Structure 1
Amino acid sequence: MLGTIINALAVISGSSLGLLMRRSIGEDLKGKLLSVIGLFTLYLGADMMLRADKPLGLIIGLLLGTYIGHIMKLDERLERLSNIREKSADGLLVPFLTFCIGPMTVIGSLRDGMGDPSIILAKSVMDGFSSIAFASAFGFSVLLSAIPLLLFQGSLSLLGRFIGNSLPLSALGEMTAAGGIILLGLALRILGIKRMNVADMLPSLLIAPLISQFL
């Protein structure tokens, strides 16, 4: 888990620097930065969405995962958590999903657990720089995104440590595609087009690749 710990520290360091820069940034520039982040999230989601090999498993996984997230009230709980520090949960969701959704995260975390942190270390550099921009736009809650990052990637690292060599990587496309669709919903939210409860969709990241194995 060495790579994951370093990754979380990189996000904390970058976020701290971004918070210092935030004080000298006007509201007009903050709005422009949010628009750029929204457009980038839209691009990233569209690119990842096309990775699905089994669309039927993807849609079933998204529907079932969203239902589970709704029952668990994930979006409501995240809003309550973020409102302790900031009015919006976007500062938690945007960095976490951007940092933790994609092949580099999944494969890198699994490899980290198997004793090879090289992929996650490279990712840490990118996440550190990205968190500077995120914190400049969103504020303190970006710093908190290091916590779910540590939990998510740490869980994958532990998985890789014990059964990494026997995990089927064929489900990676469905996990990536599900993450892409979640990012598209998040982009609509950032750009002010439609406020979607994307946190409720997070269980789809596990359900979609699982269902795809049986189709």
Structure 2
Amino acid sequence: MPIGVTINALSVLFGGAFGAFAGKHMSENFKNGLNMVFGACSMTMGIFSIAPMKNMSAVIFAVILGTGLGLLIHLGDWINKGAKWMQSLIMKVVPQGNPDMSQAEFDATLVTVIVLFCASGTGIYGALTEGMTGDTSILISKSILDFFTAAIFAANLGYVVSLIAIPQFIIFALLFAFAGVIFPLTTPTMIFDFKAVGGVLMLATGFRMIKVKMFPTADMIPAMVLALPLSWLWINVIGPML
């Protein structure tokens, strides 16, 4: 059972509802301050995941080649298009929350939130990790961040943020199921390298959250796909030749 996936979706659901209800009592300074802390926590999770890696060269190759592939096929643009489609469906159910926001600003922010919760490197990494190893720690830690992140965004966007939990659960549950098929083909060393690649994505996500550098995190997602085969290649082919 995808326990971590379920907890993560519930954190967005309840966080969004809480933020929409209590948003008028939150100052801009309070919202900005928490967002900086969220970014620092994401980077901490990334560093923790990178530390145990076994084959640095394989991890670096996976990140570079995966990001290059994502940029080549414009994966980030496709994800944004999907987010806009989801936005149009959600807006039919729940109206705009903050009447002071322009429609253009509301649309842009909502698309950002959909991508953040449904297509973030941290979420994909966490769902795959739980499916492969049963480790829920990444998604549970992410759930704590997501609850407050959803609350902050919902303070301006309204209850629409809560509904993002539905597509998020569907996407992560599919990743969870897919990972269960892959795990028997892996080794502990490959898992460590896979986690390290996910840690790089979490680190990049943290920099985006604090607005230091807008890494193309959506385009970096293919690195997660390449992590395992490149780690296997390094262990069984390249490593013995060196």
Interval containing the TM-score (normalised by the shorter chain) = 0.7 to 0.9
Query: Are the aligned partners of 1:66 and 1:204 in contact in 2 as well (CA < 8 Å)?
Result: yes
* 1:116 equivalent in structure 2: none
SS of residue matched to 1:197: coil
1:106 Cα deviation from its structure 2 partner? 3.7
Task: State the percentage of identical aligned residues.
Answer: 17
The CA RMSD over aligned residues, in Å, is 3.2
Alignment of 1:1-215 (within 5 A): 1=1, 3=3, 6-7=6-7, 9-11=9-11, 12-82=13-83, 84=87, 86-88=107-109, 90-95=112-117, 96-102=120-126, 105-110=127-132, 120=136, 128-139=143-154, 140=160, 143-144=163-164, 147-160=167-180, 164-215=183-234
Q: Which string of whole-angstrom CA distances, capped at 9 and with x for unpartnered residues, describes residues 179-212 of structure 1?
A: 1111222222222211221110001011022210
SS of residue matched to 1:176: helix
1:166 Cα deviation from its structure 2 partner? 4.8
Relative to the length of structure 2, the TM-score reads 0.68
SS of residue matched to 2:218: helix
State the structure with more CA Rg: 2
Q: Which string of whole-angstrom CA distances, capped at 9 and with x for unpartnered residues, describes residues 38-71 of structure 1?
A: 1111222222222321111111111111122112
SS of residue matched to 1:200: coil
Query: Are the aligned partners of 2:2 and 2:176 in contact in 1 as well (CA < 8 Å)?
Result: no
1:125 Cα deviation from its structure 2 partner? 6.2
Q: Which moved more, 1:123-132 or 1:45-54?
A: 123-132
1:98 Cα deviation from its structure 2 partner? 3.8
SS of residue matched to 1:87: helix
Q: Which string of whole-angstrom CA distances, capped at 9 and with x for unpartnered residues, describes residues 13-45 of structure 1?
A: 343333333343122211111111111112222
Structure 1 residues 137 and 16, CA, compared in 2 at 3 Å: closer, same or farther? same
Matches of 1:123 and 1:61, distance apart in 2: 20
SS of residue matched to 2:25: coil
Q: Which moved more, 1:5-14 or 1:25-34?
A: 5-14
1:82 Cα deviation from its structure 2 partner? 4.4
SS of residue matched to 1:69: helix
Matches of 1:6 and 1:148, distance apart in 2: 10
1:138 Cα deviation from its structure 2 partner? 3.0
AA aligned to 2:167 is I
Relative to the length of structure 1, the TM-score reads 0.76
Q: Which string of whole-angstrom CA distances, capped at 9 and with x for unpartnered residues, describes residues 122-161 of structure 1?
A: 877665544320112233557536524532342332442x
AA aligned to 1:131 is D
